[in-house]
Structure formats: structure tokens, C-alpha cells
Structure 1
Amino acid sequence: MNAVATPGVGLTILCVALVAATAAVYWVAQLGPVSVAPWAATRAVVQLAVVALVLAAALAHLWSSMLILLVMFAAAVFTAARRARAGWSAAWLTLSLGAGLATTIPPMLVSGVVPMVGVAVVPIGGIILGGTMTGTSLAARRALDALTERRGEVEAALSLGLTDRDARLEIIRATATDALLPGVDQTRTVGLVTLPGAFVGVLVASGSAAQAAAVQVLVLLGLLLAQSCAVATTIELVARGLVRRTPAYPS
């Protein structure tokens, strides 16, 4: 089966045309600086070229594949911490991301459903890590925003005899549902509204719709568990005051 896209002159011309068209839309509709699309495209090309070279070597061995996942985990922690706008206290979100991965990746490997080879572990681990990072950062940011905006309600709960943790939980528990909603909606609408990357990737590579569907179901259900554990851990960290908004990060 031929690949959907292969490096060459045709692909280059098409990509340049797509970026130019995007820049034109930015200019005509005044959506922002015209350089946004070309700069983003340039970064994407450079980053993916580097990643492709690294992965080509790393995926040949399990130990190097695990090292790649470790680097991705560190980048995810940094990104989630920055998005949470909680200063140094956001380092605690490492526990959230760790909880998400620890509850999903080991069972997949131990069961043998995901073979313990780099070419399988890195893509699936990366997808789950990315979704977990999004849920974690969203949960932390919304919980901290809620505590800032509804400070009076927290104080009222404290006056009724609730502990600091319980008073905060009363306010931020609803934000957990909001943080989990994107992942739940993706699972509900898969195949009807969207065809996620894992499905398309396996379909293009193998040509088997059944295998593509199986991989996508595994990834989506793994994401549900990983995000649930990560968000639950994040809410607990915020409720206990370990992750908190600092003066340098106003709401």
C-alpha cells in the first residue's frame, strides 16, 4: 500500500502553498501577524526532522525508547506546570502525570497487548502522555482560578468548620469534570465526528480497519483512565495547598 505522503517536490510545493494560503487568510481577515503560520510551519518541519532522526535510532532498542519516553515525560511536566501558572509549586504536578502513566502503560505491557518494543511503546505512551498532560494542566488552572474567584465561598466553608482541604474541594470539585470533558467527548464521538491519529496511522500502515479500530479503542480507554487518575491527583494537590497560585501568576 502506498503511503499517503512521501517526501519529494510535490509534497514540498503543496506544503508551501498551504502555508501561503494560511498567511493570506491571516492578512485578509486580520487574524494576527502574517508571520504566525510560516513561523509555526518552519518550527514544525525542523522539530519533526530532528525527531525523525532521533526516533529512527532510538526505536531500535527498548532502553533507548524508554529514554525517549522519559524525555517526553519531563517536557510534559514542564508544559503542564507552565500552563497551570502556579510557579514552583506546579512541580507537584509530576505526581499527576506519573499517576496517569503508572495506571495505564504497565498493564498494557504486562498483558502483552502492547508488545514491549520501542516502535509500539513510544507512540502509544506518547499519545497517552499528551492527553494526560492536557487534562492535568487544565484541571490545575481551572481549580486555581476557581479558588481565586470564589475566595469568599472558601472562607464561608471554613467558618462552618470545614478543614482547609474540604473547603477547597467544595469549590474545585466541579472543575475536574470540565477538565475531563474533552477526553470523554473524544471517546463518545470517535468514528462519528473524528478519526483520531492512532486510527489513521495504523490504517495507513497496515490497511486493516479492524486493527486500526482495535488500537484506537485501546488508546482512548487508556486515555480515559490516565486522565481520570491525573485529574483526581491534581485536584487533591490543589485542595491540600501543594499546588497554589502565586503573586507572580495572577488570575
Structure 2
Amino acid sequence: MTRLGSGPAVGRAAVRAVLQLGVVSLVIVAVLASWWSTGAFIGVMYLVASVTSARRIGFTRACWASIPIGLGVFTTLGLLVGTRVLPATPLAVLPTAGILIGGAMTATTLAGRRALDELHARRGEYEAGLALGFGERDAALEICRIPAGQALVPALDQTRTVGLVTLPGAFVGVLLGGASPIQAGATQLLILVALLAVETVAIAATVELIARGVLHR
């Protein structure tokens, strides 16, 4: 009906979501029983996110997308746990890691696609920069840095409108769990700020690696 070309993809995504959430619902209690299983599950999430992002961007290997995703997620997650802002328990770490990995995956995909598309579409400008004496990295950054930075817009909008347009899942979940509205708000604020940090690092790393010629289609 809409002729957007995404009808089959939407259907497949919905079916996959049902199946995957069903499996996770069955195993989540066992996963949270120990740090070993929690760490393994986080590893699976990280791998799936890397493969998904690499395919969307057009990278031939998932390891290329895993670099910016990992830099953003594990740096921020380690900082949160190390400073004890986030309790060092599987119940707290696992869902937080999932949220951060999902955000980093989206940011990496959007930044990678925008950066490579811009470099392709504005190849003449890139070559003009080289002719003027720019290095390959600097010429590429002049073309793709600002367009790729637009990948942060969804996270910025979510943070700016929180509580006015949406009531995010972390806030509602903590509130329904019996915490006070202040505690729920503090938890959601922590998640939003962490997401901004994760996505900023992921986007910056993606752009830098593309500009250096490390990541390409």
C-alpha cells in the first residue's frame, strides 16, 4: 500500500521479534543465575549487534562494526560499574548492557551509512580536497563528519523530550517495581546520559575509521 519497499522486511522483523522474545522469556531466569551465563548472553548480544550493523552498512566482516560498538558500550558500562553508579549485579548489568548495545548498534549503522554514502556522492569534493593538499583522512572528514553526526539526532530528541513525549521503559519498569518516582527518574536519566555517551563514542569511532580507510564497503 505505501510502496516504501519495506513491507516484507517489517513482517519478517515482527515475526523474529515474537520468536526471539519468546526464547529470551524462557531462558532469562537461568541467564541471570550467574555471572558466567550473564557474560555469555551479553557476548551474544554484542555479536548479533555487530553482524546486524555490518550488514546494514555493507561491511564484509562483522568485526569492523564491532569496533565502534565495543568502544562505546564497554567503556561506558565499565565506567558505570567501576564507579558503582550501576550495581554490579547480573540483574542490573544485563538489561543496561542490552540497552547500550542496541543504541550503539543503531548509531554505528546510521553513521556508517551516512558517511560512506556522502563520500560516494561527493567523490569530486573529496578529490578536490586532496588536490588542495589535504591528507586522505582530513579530506574524508570534511565530507562525512557532519552528515554522520546526524546519527545522534534520535538519541538527542529522546533525551530532550523524555517525560513530555514518551515515558521510557526503564522509568516505567522501575516505577512498577515499587520504586519511588524520584528513583525511577534517576534511573532513566542515568540510562539516557549513558546512551548519549555510548552513541557519541560509537559515531566518532565509526567516522574516524572510515576516514582512515579502515572501514569501507
TM-score of the pair, normalised by structure 2: 0.92
Change (3 A) 1:119 1:91: same
What's the offset of the Cα at 1:42? 4.3
Aligned with 1:116 (options 81, 88, 113): 88
User: In the alignment, residue 120 of structure 1 is paired with which amino acid?
Assistant: A
Q: Determine which structure has more spread, i.e. the larger CA radius of gyration.
A: 1
Distance 1:243 1:217 in 2: 33
What's the offset of the Cα at 1:94? 1.4
Change (3 A) 1:46 1:112: same
Q: What's the counterpart of residue 146 of structure 2? A: 174
1:82 correspondence with 2:55: yes
Change (3 A) 1:138 1:37: closer
Q: What's the counterpart of residue 166 of structure 2? A: 194
How many residues align structurally?
A: 215
1:66 correspondence with 2:67: no
Residues 146-155 or 33-42, more deviating = 33-42
Q: What's the counterpart of residue 44 of structure 1? A: 17
Change (3 A) 1:76 1:42: closer
Find the residue that maps to 2:177 and give its secondary structure. helix
TM-score of the pair, normalised by structure 1: 0.80
Distance 2:53 2:9 in 1: 23
Aligned with 1:216 (options 188, 192, 195): 188
Large movers: runs of 4+ above 4 Å: 31-42
User: In the alignment, residue 110 of structure 2 is paired with which amino acid?
Assistant: L
Change (3 A) 1:192 1:106: same
> Any unmatched runs of 5+ in structure 1?
1-29, 246-251
Residues 188-197 or 204-213, more deviating = 204-213
Deviations 1:37-76 (A, max 9, x none): 7765543332212101121101011221111101100011
Q: Percent identity?
A: 49
Q: What's the counterpart of residue 144 of structure 1? A: 116
> Any unmatched runs of 5+ in structure 2?
none
Change (3 A) 1:34 1:144: closer
Change (3 A) 1:139 1:118: same
CA RMSD across the alignment: 2.0
Deviations 1:173-227 (A, max 9, x none): 1123211111111111111111111111111222521121111100000011111
Distance 1:230 1:34 in 2: 29
Change (3 A) 1:243 1:36: closer
Distance 1:162 1:68 in 2: 45
Distance 2:168 2:142 in 1: 35
